[in-house]
Structure 1
Amino acid sequence: MDIDLKVRLGRLDFRNPVLVASGTFGYAREMADLVDFQQLGGIVPKTVTSASRPGNLPPRTVETPSGLLNAIGLDNDGIDHFLEHHLPYLTSLPTAIIGNVAGKTEDDFVELAQKMGQAKGMAGVELNLSCPNVSGGTDFATDPAITKRIVDRCRAVCPHPLIAKLTPNIANIVPIAKAAADGGADAVSLANTFLGMAVDWRRQKPVLGNITGGLSGPAIKPLVLRIVWQVAKANILPIIAVGGIATLDDVMEFLVTGASAIQIGTANFYDPTASVRIVDGLPAAVASLGAGSVREIVGTLKRQA
């Protein structure tokens, strides 16, 4: 039995639901010797900002039990360098490319979206409304009015499909997802990292140079599953799940919970080939549920008897 792995999220079409997350896959060149890009549903390269950023003071990462704290601080060379140097290579690859942008201000987001919108070859743009590692980075995705306004303004200047990447550092994410939909987003990414910190008690100092950072990895998967379930129940927008996904079982859990696609993040650091193995195993997993396509199993979670 041939299993159809194709998924559609609004105007976004992917050959399969397995994407790689921004900030964990570089600009793809770094992975060229390890990953067959043609097997991926898509690539979300590292976040870019209006101007170049040096990032935060080191140390920038620290391992935690079943997770990783990072405070990179959006280290990048800026949008113009990305468009000139990285995008031509990215758009030559045999998979969908989703640009990722983060602004210091609302106007920054609009400028970035406009420049991305003028570029050819991208499948869409992910608006990083929720980076916890920069000052004010989570503010944009904690207020529904601000979220709606930014997405709406970006929608007006960018013809590409828009994905709103939201923060989990909020009591109720559903109104934020609704605001993104009202602003014209095609999908939401759920979710960015959880704000946390690590302490060296012997030195009586925080471990990270930024003091706080974003927690990712297997430790956050149950929390992100809950967030995906909440937004899926509200039937707002197609969902791309990201957070703690490292195995085929993880992917299947998110799909039946209501995500139409997923992004693999932290796992890329310690197992760059995880995404390809997951794609290889996906047809058999879908068939085991008696389905002929990924689309048939999305949101099929049952209540406990």
Structure 2
Amino acid sequence: MITLQPGDIDVGGVTLRNHLLLAAGVLGTTGASLQRLLKLGAGGVVTKSIGPEPNAGHHGPCLIRTECGVLNAMGLPNPSKNFVEELAPLEGEPVIVSIFGKDPEEFKEVAGWFAEHAKAFELNVSCPHAAGYGAAIGTDPETVLECTRAVASYGVPVWVKLTPNVTDITTIGLAAEKGGASAIVAINTVRGMRISTAMRRPVLGNRTGGLSGKAIFPIAVKCVWDLYAACTIPVIGCGGVSTAEDVIEMMMAGAQAVEIGTAVMDDVRVFDGIAQKLYAKDGADPASIVGVAHD
């Protein structure tokens, strides 16, 4: 397998310790859990998505295992502005704060709480199971452009996390780029559901949810491929990454870094495990791998 030279990398205006980031929504709920993942080898961490009002999320069941992934409908639970206190012990660390809102004004309000604490913002315009938020606005290019522009006004790098649940993801990526995004994250979960044949009703409390894990890896690779070809800003791959080989494949499709979420549920030490196989002193220059499959 191809190995890479180790060391810090700069992606989307942020200096990361390596190419592996903790994805939003997985162990990103407290400062302590974020610090733990950094100590366990994550090159950077993305917080749980924070919104304009405290939210308890959907009633359960909120998460189930599938044959090759996880189906969840958490409903964006978060403590809102109170989360600022969790970031105090992480000053100077590569922490990206995930935020959401229903319009540019709410995005800007939430970003204002964290503008002095975050190395970057990740705009959640892609969650498929929160009415009025996430993918409900992230399928409209003009709204994505305006939300990105509103947050970019703080001068902090802005990453925009896109939904795969659209006809053409590049139209949304280009809108984010036009709005001033520093990077694009592809992808969030894919809409899905399961039905209990014994109960004769949907399994999830919200009925439908978002599928993550190995099942969506090929979808994520295709979205990264398309965005790399269409946009000029960096692409960060997300969706089903769990091995060093997956990281290389994502990078060959065009990703400059990757986010890892569902794989953390099976092994909290996944970052270090991947890094041990991914990096070597005599490895290739990472820049020579990004997008090479397009040549």
**Aligned residue for 1:51?**
53
Distance 1:197 1:285, change over 3 A: farther
Structure 1 residue ranges without an equivalent (≥5): none
Is this contact kept in 2: 1:36–1:276, CA < 8 A?
Answer: no
Q: Tell me by how many angstroms 1:106 deviates.
A: 2.8
**Structure 2 contact 31–87 (Cα < 8 Å) conserved:** no
Partner of 2:290: 298
1:185 maps to 181
- TM-score w.r.t. structure 1 length? 0.90
The total of aligned residue pairs comes to 291
**Helix, strand or coil at the partner of 1:253:** helix
Distance in 2, matches of 1:234 and 1:258, equals 11
Structure-2 residue corresponding to 1:272: 268
Q: Could you tell me how far 1:302 is from its partner in structure 2?
A: 5.1
Q: 2:91 maps to which residue?
A: 91
Equivalent in 206, 209, 220 of residue 205 of structure 2: 209
Find 1:219's aligned residue among 215, 219, 222.
215
Match of 1:23 in 2: 25
In structure 1, the residue matched to 2:70 is: 68
Deviation at 1:179, TM superposition (A): 0.3
Structure 2 distance, partners of 1:115, 1:32, is: 20
Contact map agreement 1:191 1:224 (CA 8 A) in 2: yes
What is residue 154 of structure 1 aligned with on the other side? Answer: 151
Contact kept, 8 Å, 1:47 with 1:101, in 2: the verdict is yes
> CA 1:203/1:108 → structure 2, altered by over 3 Å: closer, same or farther?
same
- Determine the C-alpha separation between the residues in 2 that align with 1:286 and 1:171: 42
Name segments (4+ residues, structure 1) moved above 6 Å.
none
Q: Give the residue type in structure 1 aligned to 2:280.
A: A
RMSD: 2.0
The residue that corresponds to 2:242 in the other structure is 246
User: Aligned-pair distance for 1:90?
Assistant: 2.9
Distance 2:235 2:268 in 1: 24
Displacement after TM superposition at 1:47 (Å): 1.0
Alignment CA distance shift 1:167-1:36 (3 Å): closer
Is the Cα contact below 8 Å between 1:5 and 1:17 reproduced in 2? no
Counterpart position of 2:10? 8
- Determine the C-alpha separation between the residues in 2 that align with 1:96 and 1:123: 6
Consecutive unaligned residues of structure 2, counting only runs of 5 or more, are: none
Distance (Å, rounded) in 1 between the aligned partners of 2:286 and 2:233? 17
Question: Amino acid of the residue matched to residue 232 of structure 1?
Answer: Y
* 2:38–2:45 Cα contact (<8 Å) kept: no
Alignment CA distance shift 1:107-1:216 (3 Å):
same
Letter in 2 for 1:296: S
Contact 1:101-1:127 within 8 A present in 2 as well: yes
User: C-alpha distance in 1, partners of 2:32/2:276?
Assistant: 22
Query: Which of 151, 160, 163 lines up with 2:159 in the alignment?
Result: 163
Q: 1:82 matched to which residue of 2?
A: 83
Give the percent of matched residue pairs that are identical in Structure 1 and Structure 2. Answer: 34
- Taking a change above 3 Å as real, the CA distance of residues 146 and 17 of structure 1, as seen in their structure-2 partners, is same
TM-score by length of structure 2 reads: 0.93
Cα gap change, 1:104/1:3 in structure 2, threshold over 3 Å: closer, same or farther?
same
CA distance in 2, matches of 1:230, 1:176: 11
* Residue 286 to residue 53, structure 1, CA distance change in 2 (3 Å): farther
